[in-house]
Amino acid sequence: MGLETVAVHRCFGGTQGFYQHESAETGTPMRFAAFVPPRAADGPRPVLYFLSGLTCTEENFAVKAGAQRRAAELGLVLVMPDTSPRGTELPGEHDSWDFGSGAGFYVDATESPWAVNYRMYSYVTRELPAVVAENFPVDESRAGIFGHSMGGHGALVAALRNPGTWRSVSAFAPIAAPMHCPWGEKALAGYLGADRERWRAYDSCALIEDGRRVPAILVDQGMDDPFLDKQLQPERLEAACRQAAIPLTLRRQPGYDHSYFFIASFVESHLDWHAARLEV
């Protein structure tokens, strides 16, 4: 798989790179960022994928979260994909910030005109890991996934549907039940159509209700998050996990909002949590 290097920066003894490749899933060039720690010089390292939220690109987490220092200490490879295909110029693609460009919602669309290019679920769970395994010193058997907001939703869904791929999962302020919030209803209806039964494959609470399981989940949620009650609804995830006996650590953080200041405040504890489960 051909990989183009866009930029590479020395960072905490390792490298923070930005890359592009032609995607078979989306039919477009796709970009992602990857941090490779210095310990990768001695052999393959565990890999942790971060899925970003609405309007973000592959740059947001790499630039704003401040995760590289601790990742270097732990010897974790970090991989951060873009949030949607780019350059398709589909009708209405850029009309709103919460659907279309920058808002792929980590689903495989089935509705026209999105179905051809908007295949972010398969891109993140199949194609991107294959590209990473071919080009970076990673141990595929020790992979974890986490994300923020729309990306927190994507991480939970990916882990629940692919327990053999992701050994650990966590999230910052995830859209916990997209079938029951405005962001999710808009995205799922637009990409998947009106049949709500088809939406269940991309709703973490519904997946848990339908028998999907992971060993444990860590979630941080800011209590001053303006989207908390209407869009994020962590109590639904809490109830689903309780019913299914899935260990959920839900840390409600007073005073924190939905921003990368919130993520940066707790990202190191997430890296530590994944490292423990990836046997770093």
Q: Which residues are catalytic?
A: 149, 225, 258
Rounded alpha-carbon distances, angstroms, from residue 91 to 28, 186, 191, 238: 16, 16, 13, 38
Q: Which residues pair with 221 in a beta bridge?
A: 252
C-alpha torsion 152→153→158→159, nearest 10: 60
Rg (CA), the chain: 17
CB count, 10 Å around CB of 224? 12
Q: How far apart are CA 65 and CA 259, in angstroms?
A: 10
Of 192, 156, 195, 196, nearest to 176 by C-alpha is: 156
Residue 97 contacts residue 103 (beta carbons within 8 Å)? yes
Residue 165 corresponds to which amino acid? Answer: T
Q: What is the dihedral of CA 251, 156, 127, 16, to 10 degrees?
A: -10
Which residue, among 221, 219, 218, has the nearest Cα to 255 in the 3D structure?
221
DSSP 17: E
Separation of first and last alpha carbons in the chain: 28
